[in-house]
Amino acid sequence: MSILIKNGYVIYGENLDVMKADIYIEDNKITKIGKNLNISADYVIDAKGKVVSPGFINLHTHSPMGLFRGLADDLPLMDWLKHHIWPKEAKLTREYTKAGAYLGALEMIKTGTTAFLDMYFYMDAVAEVVLESGLRGYLSYGMIDLGEPDKTEKEIKVALETMKFIEKLSSERVQFVFGPHAPYTCSIALLKKVRELANEHKKLITIHVAETMTEIGQITSRYGKSPVVLLDDIGFLADDVIIAHGVWLDSKDIHILARHRVSIAHNPASNMKLASGVMPIERLLNAGVNVGLGTDGSASNNNLDMLEEMKIAALLHKVHNLDPTVADAKTVFKMATQNGAKALRLDAGVIKKGALADLVIIDFNQPHLRPINNVISHLVYSANGNDVETTIVDGKILMLDREVFTLDEEKTLEKAEEVVEKLAG
């Protein structure tokens, strides 16, 4: 299949140069970019007055958690998890989780996310949804053993079964990732086993680390060191690890993360909503750490809108540092696109010849996005996910002019309501 996108403002290359150009897509790759391309294509999209951007990469989420949107707000993390979310999750079945995953996938397509890194239960069901939706999913089964050896075995077994299930799908778009939940919910034995398995099967690892001060207190009193030093001491850290949050990091921690080329998924909305704290963005970027952007789940955000997340990231770090030059628009835009791709080892996040055709078209023919003085600024500070009009992943059109082709919108919304009624009953 081929697609020609004409007359748009293209955000080109790693440096985000905005230029008027046409883009030609063949199969799943961008094969030509230039002025007035005169080529015939299966689909021709007129993007006049619109912006063609790399698709957004959500580097940390729990996609089915949209089911719990608005059911437990205004609480700190440990209280939120232990007394509200975990009891609800205990009632989840495969079917319910799948309904949540459909809702999440639909929201991501409609707000311009093209790839996401997920951690949840029933990830085989989530994998089926990813396959059907056309998105790119990096899926981890969240492992929690709370130091019980039986549970360690069980969690590893489920993770390996999930890995096998995903590998059998043999789709480049669906990838398995190891997902030990956090240093405060996983034993050292589990973490060490995950490191071994990730080496053996050449898979990425994602884990929540240094999210709250409570966590730092718990890990320090249990092990006498910070979560990052602990992970380093057991040989867990490497360039295949993506830690979510990284809010409470001292200079030593940052140095360790940089040395091992660990990536971080920054989740500013979740960190603000749960009042977890503020990630030291400048110190991390100055140390050369790769920082991507994530929304976290919809029960702590409360949506999956990466455009909104960019604005929140930019504003948070400015006010926190009392310095408006921190987290400028370009830096934040790169976090939401190319840095996420780098963490996932994905040849996307940048529009250039030869890259995967994962891109979105944003409708700038609207008053809040005019005049077009600065495209990147508008995307970070003025736009939101609903301005995304067309979403293309792997060279396939998932949404055109806001009509989603791969999922049934009405059924997806209805099913989510049904599940929530059942969970309450």
Q: Under the rule (CB under 6 A), what is the footprint of ligand SIB?
A: 62, 77, 81, 85, 89, 119-121, 142-144, 181-182, 208, 211, 270, 296-297, 300
**Is 211 annotated as contributing to ligand binding?**
yes
The span from the CA of 184 to the CA of 188, in Å, is 10
**Is 266 annotated as contributing to ligand binding?**
no
The CA–CA distances, whole Å, from 61 to 66, 124, 179, 295, 297 equal 10, 16, 12, 6, 5
Shortest reach from residue 336's CB to Zn ion, in Å = 17
Omega before residue 374 within 30° of 0, cis: no
Which among 392, 394, 360, 342 has a CA at the least distance from the CA of 29? 394
> Which amino acid is it at 2?
S
The span from the CA of 418 to the CA of 100, in Å, is 11
The span from the CA of 89 to the CA of 94, in Å, is 11
Residue whose Cβ sits closest to ligand SIB: 142
Shortest reach from residue 92's CB to ligand SIB, in Å = 10
Nearer to ligand SIB, 81 or 397 (CB): 81
Shortest reach from residue 180's CB to Zn ion, in Å = 12
85 binds, options ligand SIB, Zn ion, none, Cβ within 5 to 8 A by partner type: ligand SIB
Q: Which of 118, 145, 296, 309 binds Zn ion (CB under 5 A)?
A: 296
Backbone phi, psi, residue 212, to 5°: -130, 165
The first and second tokens of residue 333, run together, are: 């835009």
Nearer to ligand SIB, 206 or 412 (CB): 206
Nearer to Zn ion, 75 or 287 (CB): 75
Shortest reach from residue 339's CB to Zn ion, in Å = 18
**Is 208 annotated as contributing to ligand binding?**
yes
Nearer to ligand SIB, 72 or 287 (CB): 72
Shortest reach from residue 148's CB to ligand SIB, in Å = 11
Nearer to ligand SIB, 111 or 300 (CB): 300
Stretch 91-150 residues interacting with Zn ion (CB under 5 A): none
Nearer to ligand SIB, 17 or 79 (CB): 79
54 binds, options Zn ion, ligand SIB, none, Cβ within 5 to 8 A by partner type: none
Burial of 171 (0-12, 13-18, 19+ CB in 10 A): middle
Contacts for 330-335: CB closer than 8 Å, 24+ residues apart: 330/16, 330/376, 331/285, 332/293, 332/380, 333/16, 333/376, 333/379, 333/380, 334/16, 335/266, 335/291, 335/292, 335/293, 335/310
Shortest reach from residue 120's CB to ligand SIB, in Å = 5
Interacting residues with Zn ion (CB under 5 A): 296
Give binding residues for substrate as ranges.
89, 181, 211, 296
